[in-house]
Amino acid sequence: MSAPTQDIQETPEAGFGKRPLGKRLVGANTFWIALVLVALIIVFSVLAPSAFPTLYNFQLLLIETAVLLVLSVGMTFVIITSGIDLSVGSVLIFAGMVGGKTMEAMSGGNAGGAGWGVIIVGLIVAILAGTVWGLINGFLIAVAGIPPLIVTLGTMGAALGASLLLNNGSDVRTVPVVLNKQLGYGTSFGVVPNLVLIAVVITLVGAWLLHTTKFGRYTFAIGSNAEGARRAGIGVTAHLMKVYTLTGVLAGLAGFLSLAYYNSTTITGHTSDNLNAIAATVMGGTSLFGGIGSVLGTVIGVFIPAVLKKGFNITGVPDFWQMIAVGAVLIAAVWFDQRRRRQRNSR
């Protein structure tokens, strides 16, 4: 049964081993996306040499993208399976709300002075809350056979509604001070934000899982040809359950990280996180048609809109230009993916 599985897992990059390194590099989707990011950094550094290329600015840029990066790692797995998850932003809010309410309940209604024991319980509860929504999505998609778009559109509204019900439509505002200072704004090694360290660890684990393990190979196989993967002996239903559960776990963790950084659940600030995660993943070269993608590409895709926003703010360009620019890059990324797919199919 192993031979068919190997065939299914082949991607357009599978034949790169026979090509020179230079051609392999230029032909890689990630290479061109990385060039776009480098070009943006150079342009804004030239336009604002005293404000953009500073240590403080890059620290802030990394912190602001950390939560979205954690969400986008999970989204990468989902989209590679040819699925979608519109609920991650609402699940993030729900997880942060449940974690915050738990810490408040354990602290007599005000968690400001809570210690690490209470914080760890809040973290566990937040991750479990995200896991539950991931399991619901996975069951409805993989077992019940409902299209991912419909399922996650429904759970997006349900998770957000449940979040509002938990606190009568208001944000949780009493977050442990030590959590905000040490995780939200704390640094290690003098310059590296702790929030960023966690996001880096999650990203590295995600890259290892996707690119070096059987779990990752099955993810690519299902996205390339789900029926072929099933005939090759892969448990497609069980694997899709795991992928959506993983996305829920990461959304739960992202909700807690957001709580630590913003010192509040900031419900209105996360309503478009699902679209931002999808856009970052697609801009990073992950195909909406499934079977193609990388965590490195997703990292680059997360930073492109972040650099645009930061650069536009520093250079005094109105914010709506950022929306236009990100939209143009996103459309270009999808067009390039379709063009590459047509070329491969015509061979």
Q: Give 29-91 as a DSSP string.
A: HHHHHHHHHHHHHHHHHHHSTTTSSSHHHHHHHHHHHHHHHHHHHHHHHHHHTT---TTHHHH
Rounded to the nearest 5°, which phi and psi values hold at 132?
-60, -45
pLDDT digits (tens, 9 = 90+) for 237-262: 999 999 999 999 999 999 999 999 99
Q: Which one-letter DSSP state was computed for residue 47?
A: H
pLDDT digits (tens, 9 = 90+) for 81-132: 999 999 999 999 999 999 999 999 999 888 988 999 999 999 999 999 999 9
- For residue 194, is pLDDT > 50? yes
- For residue 15, is pLDDT > 80? no
Say what the pLDDT of residue 322 is. 77
Whether residue 58 lies inside any domain: the answer is no
Whether residue 330 lies inside any domain: the answer is no
Whether residue 314 lies inside any domain: the answer is no
Say what the pLDDT of residue 236 is. 96
Question: In sequence order, what are the beta bridge partners of 187?
Answer: 193
Say what the pLDDT of residue 19 is. 54
Q: Please give the average per-residue pLDDT across 277-291, as a whole number.
A: 90
User: What is the number of domains present in the chain?
Assistant: 1
Whether residue 125 lies inside any domain: the answer is yes
Which residue has better confidence, 27 or 158? 158
Question: 130: domain range?
Answer: 67-271
Whether residue 175 lies inside any domain: the answer is yes
What does pLDDT average to over the chain?
88
Say what the pLDDT of residue 261 is. 93
The set of residues, in sequence order, having a beta carbon less than 8 Å from that of 15 and lying 6+ positions away, is none
Whether residue 57 lies inside any domain: the answer is no
pLDDT band at 221 (very low <50, low <70, confident <90, very high): very high
Residue with tokens 């914080």: 119
Whether residue 89 lies inside any domain: the answer is yes
Q: Please give the average per-residue pLDDT across 268-276, as a whole number.
A: 87
Whether residue 127 lies inside any domain: the answer is yes
The region of weakest confidence among 17-31, 293-307, 324-338 is 17-31
